[in-house]
Amino acid sequence: MTIDLPALKRDQMIRVTLNNTSFTFFTTWGLFSPREVDEGTQLLLGKLNDIRPSDDILDIGCGYGIIGIVLAKLAPQGVTHMIDKDFVAIQYSRKNAKINELKNTETYLSNGLSDVPADQKFDLIVSNLPAKTGKELHYIMLQEAYDHLKPGGRLYVVTISGLKDYIKRTFNEVFGNYEKIAHSKHYSVGLAIKT
């Protein structure tokens, strides 16, 4: 069997309709879900029905930008920040924001929320939480998400179903509330509101 190395090095392209809008995403091997929009992201995006045009949004662990770009399109008067600890993810998020003709995004490296300006507050924070980063980092991110939300701000996360009890417990500890928004065989979407 001969492997076509030049073909493997070419960007992958995904054309998809999400939240009633067509998008084009470029990605590469090594980034999460390079062939298609993953089930958890689709489940999360399908449940985000409360986006206001002026919302300021943060996408934690943006990957190549699917969630942040869809939300930036839904909130054109706000600014959507997309952060990731992977510089390749940041490059592709920037490229995809440009391809999808968005001018209301800011994309930058950040380990968790470590490089989000301390005084920056958001109406909405979202994340497809990676399962293998460890509960310690999840706890840090959830606490910092609370600190970066405006009063009444919402935090939505999608996780593998095995983390749903941890998310429920930690949301109740950090936010004082938790609501299960959706679930499938493999994923669960949770919501917490900063009161």
Domain ranges of the chain: 39-193
For 6, phi then psi, to 5°, come to: -55, -35
For residue range 34-64, list pLDDT tens digits in order: 899 999 999 999 999 999 999 999 999 999 9
CATH number of this structure's domain 39-193: 3.40.50.150
Mean pLDDT of 88-110: 98
Q: For residue 167, what are the CA distances in angstroms to 85, 124, 129?
A: 22, 17, 10
Q: 24 has which bridge partners?
A: 15
pLDDT at 122: 98
Percent of the chain with pLDDT over 90: 86
Mean pLDDT of 84-98: 97
The answer to whether 19 and 70 are in contact (CB under 8 A) is yes
The answer to whether 80 and 57 are in contact (CB under 8 A) is yes
pLDDT at 151: 98
Mean pLDDT of 19-42: 94
Task: Give dist(CA 171, CA 85) in Å, integer.
Answer: 23
Task: Give dist(CA 44, CA 46) in Å, integer.
Answer: 5
pTM above 0.75, yes or no: yes
The two structure tokens encoding residue 64: 């190549």
105's enclosing H/E stretch is strand 105-109
**DSSP-assigned states of every residue in 23-78:** EEEEE-TTSSSSSS--HHHHHHHHH-----TT--EEEET-TTSHHHHHHHHH-TTS
* CB-based contacts of 194, cutoff 8 Å, min separation 6: 146, 149, 150, 151, 152, 153, 154, 155, 175
Q: Among 80, 76, 125, which residue's Cα sits nearest to residue 107?
A: 80
For 189, phi then psi, to 5°, come to: -110, 125
Q: Among 175, 149, 190, 169, which residue's Cα sits nearest to residue 55?
A: 149
Provide the pLDDT confidence category of residue 10 given band limits of 50, 70 and 90. Answer: confident
